[in-house]
A and B are shown apart, each in its own frame.
Chain A
Amino acid sequence: MNRAIVEGSALAVLALTVAVVWFRARHAARPESDGGYTTREEIEFEIGRLQSEVYRWLTTTNHRDIGLLYIAFGTIAGLWGGVDAMMLRTELLTPPADIWTPETYNALFTTHGLTMLIFFVLPVFFGVGNYVLPLLIGADDMAFPRVNAIGFWLLPPALLLARMGLLVQVGGQVLSLFLPDESIQFFLTIREVSIGWTLYAPLSVQQPNPQIDLLLLGLHLSGIATTVGAINFIVTVVYERGDDVTWANLDIFSWNMLVTSGIALFAFPLLGSALVMLLLDRNLATTFFATEGGGAILWQHLFWFWGHPEVYILFLPATGLMSTILPKFVGRKLFGYQFIVYSTLGLAVLSFGVWAHHMFTTSVDPRVKASFMAISIAIAVPSAIKVFNWITTMWDGDIQLSAPFILCAGSIGTFIVGGVTGVFLAVIPIDILYHGTYYVVGHFHLIVVGIIPFMMIAASYYWYPLITGRWYDTRLAKFQSVLLIFGSVVTFMTLLIIGGVGLPRRQAIYPPEYQLAQQIATVGAYVIGLSALLWLYNMLVSYWRGAVVQTTDPWKLKATNQFTKEWQWFEERMVEKYDLEPATPDSTRRSYAPELEPMGLLGGVGSVAENVYRNASAAAAGGFVGTVLMAGGLGTAIVVDVLDPVSFGEIAEPVGLPADPLFGAALFLVGGTVTWPLLFLAFQEYLPGRYLFETGTVFATLISTGFAIAFYTGQQGLVLLGYLGFVLVAHWAYGLGLAVTFQFLQSRRRKRRRAEE
Chain B
Amino acid sequence: MSESADDGSVLFTYVAPFLGVLLVAVGIGGAVPGGYAIAQEQIGGCGEPSIAVEGPEETSQRFATSQPQLARFQFAELSPAERAAFREGLADARGEAHVEGSFPNGPAFRNGSLVTYEGERHYVTVVSENPCFQAAPLQFPLGLFAIGLGVVGILTPPLYRKLVALERSVEA
Pairwise interchain contact A94-B33, C-beta atoms closer than 8 A: yes
Report A-chain residues with C-beta under 8 Å of the C-beta of B132.
98
Complex Cα distance, B21 from A556, in Å, reads 33
- Produce 1/0 per residue, B21-32, CB < 8 A to A: 110111011001
- Produce 1/0 per residue, A338-377, CB < 8 A to B: 0000000000000000000000000000000000000000
Pairwise interchain contact A99-B14, C-beta atoms closer than 8 A: no
**Chain B CB within 10 Å — which of A483, A486, A526, A547 has the most?**
A526
Pairwise interchain contact B29-A99, C-beta atoms closer than 8 A: no
Pairwise interchain contact B36-A475, C-beta atoms closer than 8 A: no
Report B-chain residues with C-beta under 8 Å of the C-beta of A482.
14, 18
Complex Cα distance, B33 from A188, in Å, reads 27
A185 within 8 A of B: yes
Give B126-172 interface residues, CB cut-off 8 Å to A.
127-134, 157
Pairwise interchain contact A98-B131, C-beta atoms closer than 8 A: yes
B3 within 8 A of A: yes
Report A-chain residues with C-beta under 8 Å of the C-beta of B46.
98
In the complex, residue of chain B having the shortest beta-carbon distance to the beta carbon of A554 = B2
Report A-chain residues with C-beta under 8 Å of the C-beta of B76.
none
Contact of B33 among A99, A476, A531 (CB under 8 A): A99
Report A-chain residues with C-beta under 8 Å of the C-beta of B40.
1
A97 in contact with B129 given A482-B18, A530-B21, A554-B2 (CB within 8 Å): yes
Pairwise interchain contact B131-A1, C-beta atoms closer than 8 A: no
Report A-chain residues with C-beta under 8 Å of the C-beta of B64.
none
A102 within 8 A of B: yes
Report B-chain residues with C-beta under 8 Å of the C-beta of A476.
157
Pairwise interchain contact A547-B24, C-beta atoms closer than 8 A: no
Give B1-44 interface residues, CB cut-off 8 Å to A.
1-4, 6, 13-14, 17-18, 21-22, 24-26, 28-29, 32-33, 36, 40, 43
- Produce 1/0 per residue, A459-498, CB < 8 A to B: 0000000000001001111110011001000000000000
**Chain A CB within 10 Å — which of B32, B93, B131 has the most?**
B93
A527 within 8 A of B: yes
Pairwise interchain contact B33-A479, C-beta atoms closer than 8 A: no
Complex Cα distance, B43 from A186, in Å, reads 24
Report B-chain residues with C-beta under 8 Å of the C-beta of A101.
50, 127-128, 130
Contact of A526 among B2, B29, B43, B50 (CB under 8 A): B29
Contact of A475 among B2, B24, B157 (CB under 8 A): B157
- Produce 1/0 per residue, A375-409, CB < 8 A to B: 00000000000000000000000001111000000
Report B-chain residues with C-beta under 8 Å of the C-beta of A517.
none
Report A-chain residues with C-beta under 8 Å of the C-beta of B43.
1-2
Pairwise interchain contact B28-A99, C-beta atoms closer than 8 A: no
Pairwise interchain contact A402-B3, C-beta atoms closer than 8 A: yes
Pairwise interchain contact B18-A189, C-beta atoms closer than 8 A: no
Contact of B24 among A1, A2, A102, A526 (CB under 8 A): A526
A556 in contact with B2 given A90-B33, A523-B26, A530-B24 (CB within 8 Å): yes
A185 in contact with B14 given A101-B50, A526-B29 (CB within 8 Å): no
A93 within 8 A of B: yes
Report A-chain residues with C-beta under 8 Å of the C-beta of B36.
1, 99
A704 within 8 A of B: no
A64 within 8 A of B: no
Pairwise interchain contact B14-A479, C-beta atoms closer than 8 A: yes
A627 within 8 A of B: no
Contact of A474 among B3, B28, B29, B32 (CB under 8 A): B3
Give A1-20 interface residues, CB cut-off 8 Å to B.
1-2
Pairwise interchain contact A547-B1, C-beta atoms closer than 8 A: yes
Report B-chain residues with C-beta under 8 Å of the C-beta of A260.
none
Report B-chain residues with C-beta under 8 Å of the C-beta of A2.
43
For chain A, what secondary structure do more than half of its interface residues adopt (helix, strand, loop), or is it mixed? helix
Question: What's the least CB distance linking B83 to chain A, in Å?
Answer: 20
A113 within 8 A of B: no
Report A-chain residues with C-beta under 8 Å of the C-beta of B33.
90, 93-94, 99
Contact of B13 among A94, A402, A475, A519 (CB under 8 A): A475
Report A-chain residues with C-beta under 8 Å of the C-beta of B94.
188-189, 191
Pairwise interchain contact B131-A97, C-beta atoms closer than 8 A: yes
Complex Cα distance, B18 from A522, in Å, reads 17
- Produce 1/0 per residue, B69-80, CB < 8 A to A: 000000000000
A97 in contact with B128 given A185-B93, A402-B3, A547-B1 (CB within 8 Å): yes
Question: What's the least CB distance linking A535 to chain B, in Å?
Answer: 13
Pairwise interchain contact A400-B26, C-beta atoms closer than 8 A: no
Question: What's the least CB distance linking B151 to chain A, in Å?
Answer: 10
Report A-chain residues with C-beta under 8 Å of the C-beta of B130.
98, 101
Give A554-606 interface residues, CB cut-off 8 Å to B.
554-556
Complex Cα distance, B18 from A482, in Å, reads 9
Question: What's the least CB distance linking A188 to chain B, in Å?
Answer: 4
A96 within 8 A of B: yes
A53 within 8 A of B: no
Pairwise interchain contact B14-A478, C-beta atoms closer than 8 A: yes
Report A-chain residues with C-beta under 8 Å of the C-beta of B14.
475, 478-479, 482
Complex Cα distance, B46 from A403, in Å, reads 47
Question: What's the least CB distance linking B95 to chain A, in Å?
Answer: 9
Complex Cα distance, B169 from A511, in Å, reads 59
Report A-chain residues with C-beta under 8 Å of the C-beta of B24.
526, 530
- Produce 1/0 per residue, A685-721, CB < 8 A to B: 0000000000000000000000000000000000000
Report B-chain residues with C-beta under 8 Å of the C-beta of A556.
2
Pairwise interchain contact B28-A526, C-beta atoms closer than 8 A: yes
Report A-chain residues with C-beta under 8 Å of the C-beta of B93.
181, 185, 188-189
Pairwise interchain contact B128-A102, C-beta atoms closer than 8 A: yes
**Chain A CB within 10 Å — which of B32, B43, B127 has the most?**
B32
A610 within 8 A of B: no
A103 within 8 A of B: yes
A98 in contact with B133 given A191-B94, A471-B1, A478-B14 (CB within 8 Å): yes
Complex Cα distance, B25 from A530, in Å, reads 8
Complex Cα distance, B29 from A519, in Å, reads 8
Question: What's the least CB distance linking A748 to chain B, in Å?
Answer: 45
Contact of A555 among B2, B92, B131 (CB under 8 A): B2
Complex Cα distance, B33 from A522, in Å, reads 13
Report A-chain residues with C-beta under 8 Å of the C-beta of B32.
90
Pairwise interchain contact B6-A522, C-beta atoms closer than 8 A: no
Complex Cα distance, B156 from A476, in Å, reads 12
Report B-chain residues with C-beta under 8 Å of the C-beta of A191.
94
In the complex, residue of chain A having the shortest beta-carbon distance to the beta carbon of B28 = A526
Pairwise interchain contact A527-B22, C-beta atoms closer than 8 A: yes
In the complex, residue of chain A having the shortest beta-carbon distance to the beta carbon of B2 = A554
Pairwise interchain contact B128-A483, C-beta atoms closer than 8 A: no
Give B83-125 interface residues, CB cut-off 8 Å to A.
92-94
Pairwise interchain contact B133-A94, C-beta atoms closer than 8 A: yes
In the complex, residue of chain A having the shortest beta-carbon distance to the beta carbon of B157 = A475
Contact of B29 among A1, A93, A97, A181 (CB under 8 A): A93
Pairwise interchain contact A522-B21, C-beta atoms closer than 8 A: no
Complex Cα distance, B28 from A415, in Å, reads 29
Question: What's the least CB distance linking A521 to chain B, in Å?
Answer: 11
Give A55-106 interface residues, CB cut-off 8 Å to B.
90, 93-94, 96-99, 101-103
Complex Cα distance, B4 from A402, in Å, reads 8
Complex Cα distance, B94 from A102, in Å, reads 16
Pairwise interchain contact B18-A483, C-beta atoms closer than 8 A: yes
Q: List 18 A-B contacts (CB under 8 A).
A: A1-B43, A94-B133, A97-B131, A101-B127, A101-B128, A185-B93, A188-B92, A189-B93, A189-B94, A401-B3, A471-B2, A474-B1, A474-B2, A475-B13, A526-B28, A530-B24, A531-B21, A550-B1
Closest 7 CB pairs of A and B: A526-B25, A402-B3, A101-B128, A189-B93, A188-B93, A98-B133, A98-B131
B residues whose Cβ falls under 8 Å from a Cβ of A? 1-4, 6, 13-14, 17-18, 21-22, 24-26, 28-29, 32-33, 36, 40, 43, 46, 50, 92-94, 127-134, 157
Give me 20 other A-B pairs in contact (C-beta within 8 A), A99-B33, A479-B17 excluded: A93-B33, A97-B129, A97-B131, A98-B46, A98-B134, A101-B50, A185-B93, A401-B3, A471-B2, A475-B14, A478-B3, A524-B25, A526-B25, A526-B28, A527-B25, A530-B21, A530-B25, A547-B1, A554-B2, A555-B2
